[in-house]
Amino acid sequence: MTNTQFRTIRQWLGLTQAQLARVLRYEAPLTISTYERAKNPRPVPTHVALLMTAYDEGYRPADWPHSKESR
């Protein structure tokens, strides 16, 4: 998954970086921003890409935050 695809899915889901960080169990939203930054982004780990694809396809865990977008 490219960094642009990652950012596009997060935005489509209507989640902030902080909300997505909580869903992915990261301690800080900074991790999400490292995947999305324009210069020298970190590669999206395979397991995170798989989760993002599942979220994009409609999967939602029980603790999913309320978002603007509902599928």
First-to-final CA distance of the chain: 21
Closest by alpha carbon to 24, among 59, 57, 67, 64? Answer: 64
> Does 8 map to a domain?
yes
Structure tokens given for 38: 């324009």
Structural domain harbouring 34: 3-56
What is the model's pLDDT at position 68? 53
> Does 40 map to a domain?
yes
Angle between helices 3-13 and 46-56 (to 10 degrees): 40
| Segments of the chain scoring below 50 in pLDDT | 69-71
Structure tokens given for 43: 């590669």
Count structural domains, the chain: 1
Mean pLDDT of the chain: 91
> Does 66 map to a domain?
no
> Does 36 map to a domain?
yes
**Would you state the torsion angle of the CA atoms of residues 70, 13, 52, 4, taken in this order, to the nearest 10 degrees?**
150
